[in-house]
Chains A and B, each alone.
Chain A
Amino acid sequence: MVYFRTPARSHETQNIMIDYSPASRIQTTAIEDLFTVRNSDGTTSGFDQVFYPISYELSLLENISDTINQTADRKVAAQARNLLNVFQEIFVESSVDLTHLPPLHSTIVNDGSILIEWIFKDFRIGFSIEPNPDESGWYLVSNKNQGGISASGYISSAHLKKMLLWLTSFVLIDA
């Protein structure tokens, strides 16, 4: 299922069934072609808005993208963008249904960092993207229902995709 949203009427979505290949990149012009009506007199008509394809998987990360765009610190923005890109890769490549998962939440903290959190009833995963990349890290904490987990690590020392795959697997098993 691919969701479309127009900039002018962003509160409206149209549910379009498309045979969506995770490895494909749907171009805006291709989308416009889908909505072009070819009239019998040879003219064409269709929607006059631009449609931006947003899969549910990528909408989980939409808030992070907005936060990155508001971040003044380029080092922090670059690290966050790298994290976002790897997450996108994992979500797009995943064959598992992610539609039951909440979106990730992000905010710019007054210490200059970006805080990204993925919050569930009994646990939460967080990423702190710091102005000093050596201090950027991740954590996984849970309440007593989930065993009182308290784990953390530095992003700079991790194989990022492996680490995010592990955290995403935890989410899929325990959410």
Chain B
Amino acid sequence: MPFPDNCLRGIPNKDFLVKEDGSASAHLFFFSSEQSNREDEWIEQSINWEDDGSVIQFTLNQKKDSGDSQFKAGIAKIPRREIDRLNRLPSVNGVLSYERSLLETNQYHGNLLLKNNVAKLTMKKIAASLAMLVSEIIPAQEH
């Protein structure tokens, strides 16, 4: 299945947003090898692919096992072509990728991927670059 124009990264809480201007903080896109149980050369972070007009609401409605909203501070939208452009920079050089990874309860699920041999500082720099690519922050709905 081809990839759509945008992916969506859920924002767990306001700690991941910069209070002064509402932009995404870099650590929203930090990759963690501890949280990534893969056996290949990648570490992952979850996204949803914006395949159709329902995905934003679907993502905002996602719940944790406890029943609480999973993304209390909304969603960050990132254009896929910008991820591709970032990945072509000499300083990034192909260490980024993405995939679909369908779940039983989430047909839109995917992952941003980073090679697992990237140094921690480089990972954080790339995360900051991803934060800069966010085209829109969609706020969580108040209940």
Contacts and interface: CB of A to CB of B under 8 A. Distances in A.
Interface of A: 102-103, 105, 107, 109, 111, 115, 117, 119, 123-124, 126, 128, 130, 135, 137, 139, 141-144, 148, 150-152, 154
A141 B132 contact: yes
Query: Which secondary structure characterizes the binding site on chain B?
Result: helix
B30 A119 contact: no
A115 B15 CA distance: 12
Interface stretch (B39-47, B97-105, B122-130): B122-130
Contacts of A154: 121
18 contacts: A103-B20, A105-B19, A107-B25, A111-B32, A115-B124, A117-B128, A119-B21, A124-B132, A126-B125, A128-B124, A137-B124, A139-B124, A139-B125, A141-B128, A143-B132, A148-B86, A150-B91, A150-B125
Interface of B: 15, 18-21, 23, 25-27, 30, 32, 85-86, 89, 91-92, 120-122, 124-125, 128-129, 131-133
A83 B116 CA distance: 29
A105 B25 contact: yes
A134 B121 CA distance: 11
Contact of A130 (B19, B92, B120): B120
A102 B21 contact: yes
At the interface, is chain A mostly helix, strand, loop or mixed? strand
Given A117-B18, A119-B23, A124-B128, A139 B32 contact: no
A139 B128 contact: yes
Nearest to A139: B125
A81 B120 CA distance: 22
A143 B86 CA distance: 9
Given A115-B26, A126-B26, A150-B129, A135 B121 contact: yes
A107 B28 CA distance: 11
A142 B125 CA distance: 11
Given A103-B20, A150-B125, 13 more contacts: A109-B27, A117-B26, A119-B18, A119-B20, A126-B26, A126-B124, A126-B128, A139-B124, A142-B132, A143-B132, A148-B89, A150-B89, A152-B121
Contacts of B26: 115, 117, 124, 126
A111 B30 contact: yes
Interface centre among B23, B120, B132, B133 (most CB of A within 10 A): B132
Contacts of B91: 150-151
A71 to B, nearest CB: 14
Best-surrounded residue of A107, A117, A141, A142 (most CB of chain B within 10 A)? A141
Contacts of A130: 120
